[in-house]
Chains A and B, each alone.
Chain A
Amino acid sequence: MPFLRALPRWLLGASLLLTFDLAGRLLVAALSLPIPGPVMGMLLLLLAMMLYGRVPSGLGLVGEQILRVLVLIFLPATVGIYYLRDLSRGDWFALIAAMVVGTLISIALTGLLLNYLIRRSGRGGGSADHGQ
C-alpha cells in the first residue's frame, strides 16, 4: 500500500504546519507584535526551510494538497457576503467603484513602474526559466 507507506510523511508534514502555526501565535502574543499569528508562523517556516536548504518531502505533500483546496478552506468566510445587511447603498457603491477603478489604476501603475525599472536595470528580454 503506497498510501500507508507515505502516511508517516503526511503526518509529519501536517504536524509541522500546525506546530509553526501555534509557534507563530505564541511568539506574536509573547512579544505583543501587531501581525497575525499564522503570518508569523509562515515567516518562521520560511526561515526554517531556508536554513534547512530544501522543503521536507512530507511538508511538500501536505502543503500542495492544502493549497489545492484553499478555496474550500475559506468558503465559510466567503459565503458570509450574502448575509451582510448592515451596509448602506452608498457604501456598496463606494466599495464597488473602489474595487474596479482602484484595481485597474494600481495594475497600470505597478506594471508601468516594473517595466521602467527592469528596462533601466538592463535585464529586459532575458529569459529566466523558473526553478522547481
Chain B
Amino acid sequence: MASNAFAPLQEWLAQVQQVAADIAQPLSTTHPLVILPLNILGFWLALKIYRRVGSPILHPVVGGSLLVFAGLLLLGVDFAGYQRGSGLLYLLLGPAVVALAIPLKQNLTMVRRVGWPLMLGLAVGAILAPLVAVLIALLLNGSATVLIALTTKSVTTPVALALTEQMHGIQSLAAGVVAFTGIVGAVCGPGLLQLLGVFDDRITGFTLGVNAHAIGTVRALEISALCGAFSALAMGLCGALTALLLPLLVTP
C-alpha cells in the first residue's frame, strides 16, 4: 500500500479542483455564486432572528436550514445540485474540526483544577449518552440507519459528520439528530438538573457540554461564564473521546 500513502492528499486536491471547475461553469441556479450567497444569507438571517428571540428552539441550525430549504424550493434546485454548489463549505469542514483544538487548549488548565471527578464524569457521560439513545431505539425496533445516526447524537456537528462519513451513515440524518439533541438538552437540561438538586454551575455546564455540545454551550453561557467555560471544555473533550472510541465499537 506504499503507493497509496498520499491518497488523502490526492482526494483533497481532487475536491479543490472540483470546486474550481464548478466556479468556472456558466451561471445557473446551482452555481456556487448563487448557492453560497444563499447559504450565507440563510445563516445571517437565522442568526439575527435567534439573537432577537433568544430561544434555543430557533437556534441558527434550525432557522438557517429552514431558510435555505425554502430558498432551494423557490429556485427549484434539488439536493444534489445544492451540495455541488456548496462544495467550498465542505472543504472547510476539516479545518473547522482542527480549530476545535484552540478552545480545548485555552480551557485545559481547568481540568487540572477539578481533576479526576470531571474526567470520570466525562468518560461515563460520553458513553452513556449514545448508549441510552441506542438502547431506546433498539427497544422500539429502529433500523440500523437510525442506530448509527444516534451514536453521534451528543458530539459537536463537525466531529459527528467526520465520524458518520467513516461509518458510512447518512450525514444529513446525523446532523439533524445532533441539532435536535442539542435543542432538547438546552431547553430541558438546566431545569432538569435543578429539579435533581444540582446547583453547581460547573456541573451544569459540564453536563450540558457532554450531552448537548455547542447548542448546550450557548445555553450554558447564558447561565454564567463559568458554566459556559465548563460546557465548552466538556464539548471538546467529549468530541475527541467519542472520535477515538466509537470507530473501535462500530465497524462499517
Chain A nearest Cβ from B146, distance in angstroms: 5
Do A38 and B8 touch across chains, with their CB atoms under 8 A apart?
no
Max chain A C-beta neighbours (<10 A), residue from B7, B68, B102, B196: B102
Do B150 and A103 touch across chains, with their CB atoms under 8 A apart?
no
Interface residues on B, range: 35 or more
Q: Does A18 contact B (CB under 8 A)?
A: yes
Do B210 and A110 touch across chains, with their CB atoms under 8 A apart?
yes
In the complex, how many residue pairs between chain A and chain B have their CB atoms under 8 Å apart? 352
Q: Could you tell me which residues of chain B, from 187 to 218, have a CB within 8 Å of some CB in chain A?
A: 188-189, 192-193, 196-198, 200, 202-204, 206-208, 210-212, 214
- A69 to B61, alpha carbons, bound, how many Å? 11
Q: List 9 A-B contacts (CB under 8 A).
A: A39-B244, A59-B102, A75-B86, A80-B79, A95-B146, A100-B184, A102-B150, A106-B125, A107-B192
Q: Report which of B39, B72, B150, B197 forms a contact with A99, defined as CB distance below 8 A.
A: B150
Question: Measuring CB to CB, which residues of chain B are less than 8 angstroms from any residue of chain A?
Answer: 4-9, 12, 39-40, 42-43, 46-47, 60-61, 64-65, 68-69, 72, 79, 82-83, 86, 89-90, 92-110, 113-118, 120-121, 124-125, 128-129, 132-137, 140-143, 145-146, 149-150, 153-154, 157-159, 161-163, 165-166, 170-177, 179-181, 184-185, 188-189, 192-193, 196-198, 200, 202-204, 206-208, 210-212, 214, 225-226, 229-230, 239-240, 243-244, 247-248, 251
Max chain A C-beta neighbours (<10 A), residue from B8, B79, B185: B8
Do B140 and A41 touch across chains, with their CB atoms under 8 A apart?
no
One digit per residue, 1 when the CB lies within 8 angstroms of any chain B CB and 0 when it does not, for chain A 38-82 equals 110111011001100001000110111011011111111111111
Interface residues on A, range: 35 or more
